[in-house]
């Protein structure tokens, strides 16, 4: 039944009432008019009711919108726009104040500041008068003096809280004076290919630079050389993006259209003819590393204690003379040669030119596989069975894995020897 159906309201008198006797007609109408409402009165009442309903409905809608706007205001952010281009500006404006420039000064750069190595970082935490910054380990490598410059141009001296060369993540600490913005942490597991992202950083010293693109691939595995010798000895899972990333962007933020951190920009492929191949470490992996660095100053991993060279390394192949010195059987073509032994490996008796071929009877063909087996399958204090060749004879030893020392602890240990 409609709101204005005849059963609810009608200005017409039903026909059956008009057929009443002439004598009683006028009296009946007079009685009804005296006891009821006129057509004009009913019209006025209906108009007032309609106006009241309209006002209440409008107030409800405006009130709902206002409460949403107040919710956005309470976080210090403007309401999220719906236009996709405005959304990019909104997200960049939200994230950019939390992105800093990092200057890694050397002895030369104190006299010539333009010689300082450049990078970026992201403020992710404020606590007890300190602000904490995520960046890449390679950004602060070999640092003598670290300077952080915020988006409003204020300079701070920075201290290294912890760093991890394998995941290429470091945490810096500065005083929080003048720091008002901390970036929101997103969820890189929810990323989809084709999603719009924004890279914020300090490319070529141009701090506060924004570039945008899409997620080209969500979980690309790329080989990396941890000691920069051109030999791939680890694989890094990264987000691939076509947002422009240049020298100085390393350590900066890759954010989504909600202004949330979803990756730390780390590298690009810069070969001739290659465009739009940039990479960022997923924030979910980053924060696992960051938690360890804040708690321990390093990432807690099981440690075997060997420096190695791949037996079939195509970039640094061994000579026939070196192979003869190893006295390997002809069928042994893959494994890792021990160059130095420390910690558990040294205690177990491993030494120079031992060739490891198995861990817990699992074939090991390269240093990359050795690391992956340790980090994915073993824990600190676990026993590890190592099978290796020495002077042409297959041997086996069991060692107890220890906590991996930090790079600084390893360097200090080598200097003591």
Catalytic residue IDs: 138, 168, 250
Report d(CA 338, CA 103) in Å as an integer. Answer: 37
Burial call 352-372: b when 16+ CB within 10 Å, e when fewer: eebbbbbbeeeebebbbbbbe
Residues in contact with 380: Cβ distance below 8 Å, sequence separation at least 6, in sequence order: 300, 301, 302, 303, 401, 402, 403
Runs of H (alpha helix) within 281-406? 283-296, 320-326, 343-348, 367-377
Whether residue 139 contacts residue 119, with contact meaning beta carbons closer than 8 Å, is answered with yes
Exposed, middle or buried by CB within 10 Å (0-12, 13-18, 19+), for 243? buried
Report d(CA 127, CA 182) in Å as an integer. Answer: 11
CA angle 412, 413, 417 (to 5 degrees): 115
Nearest to 404 by CA among 301, 294, 307: 301
Report d(CA 222, CA 212) in Å as an integer. Answer: 22
Nearest to 17 by CA among 40, 4, 36: 36
Q: Within a 10 A sphere around the Cβ of 258, how many other Cβ atoms?
A: 15
Joined together, the tokens standing for residue 351 give 């030494």
Report d(CA 264, CA 255) in Å as an integer. Answer: 9
Half-sphere exposure at residue 381, Cβ-oriented, CA atoms within 13 angstroms: 0
Joined together, the tokens standing for residue 183 give 């970036």
Query: In Å, how far from its chain's centre is CA 132?
Result: 15
The helix (H) or strand (E) run that includes residue 330 is none
Strands (DSSP E) found in 194-288 = 196-201, 209-224, 234-241, 253-255, 260-268, 278-282
Query: In Å, how far from its chain's centre is CA 302?
Result: 25
């Amino acid at each position: 039944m409609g709101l204005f159906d005849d059963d609810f309201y009608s200005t017409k008198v039903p026909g059956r009432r008009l057929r009443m006797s002439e004598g009683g007609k006028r009296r009946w109408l007079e009685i009804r008019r005296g006891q009821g409402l006129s057509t004009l009165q009913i019209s006025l009442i209906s108009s007032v009711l309609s106006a009241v309903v309209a006002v209440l409905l409008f107030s409800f809608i405006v009130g709902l919108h206002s409460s949403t706007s107040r919710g956005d205001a309470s976080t210090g952010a403007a309401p999220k726009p719906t236009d996709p281009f405005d959304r990019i500006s909104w997200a960049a404006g939200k994230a950019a104040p939390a992105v800093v420039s990092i200057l890694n000064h050397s002895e030369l750069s104190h006299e010539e500041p333009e010689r300082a190595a450049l990078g970026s970082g992201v403020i992710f935490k404020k606590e007890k008068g300190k602000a904490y910054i995520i960046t890449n380990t390679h950004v602060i490598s070999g640092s003598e003096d670290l300077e952080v410059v915020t988006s409003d141009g204020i300079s701070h001296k920075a201290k290294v809280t912890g760093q991890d060369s394998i995941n290429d993540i470091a945490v810096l600490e500065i005083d929080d004076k003048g720091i008002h913005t901390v970036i929101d942490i997103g969820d890189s597991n929810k990323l989809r290919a084709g999603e719009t992202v924004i890279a914020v950083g300090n490319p070529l010293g141009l701090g506060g630079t924004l570039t945008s693109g899409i997620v080209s691939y969500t979980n690309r595995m790329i080989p990396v050389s941890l000691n920069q010798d051109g030999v791939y000895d680890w694989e890094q899972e990264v987000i691939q993006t076509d947002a422009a990333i240049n020298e100085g962007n390393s350590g900066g933020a890759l954010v989504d259209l909600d202004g949330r951190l979803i990756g730390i920009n780390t590298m690009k492929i810069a070969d001739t003819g290659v465009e739009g191949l940039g990479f960022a470490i997923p924030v979910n992996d980053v924060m696992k590393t960051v938690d360890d660095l804040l708690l321990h100053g390093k990432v807690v991993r099981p440690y075997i204690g060997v420096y190695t060279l791949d037996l079939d390394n195509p970039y640094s192949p061994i000579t026939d003379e070196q192979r003869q010195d190893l006295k390997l059987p002809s069928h042994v073509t893959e494994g890792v040669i021990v160059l130095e032994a420390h910690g558990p490996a040294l205690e177990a008796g491993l030494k120079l030119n031992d060739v490891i071929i198995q861990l817990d009877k699992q074939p090991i063909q390269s240093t990359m596989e050795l690391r992956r087996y340790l980090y994915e399958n073993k824990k600190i204090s676990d026993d590890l069975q190592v099978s290796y060749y020495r002077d042409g004879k297959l041997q086996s030893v069991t060692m107890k894995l220890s906590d991996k020392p930090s790079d600084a602890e390893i360097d200090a240990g080598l200097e003591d020897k």
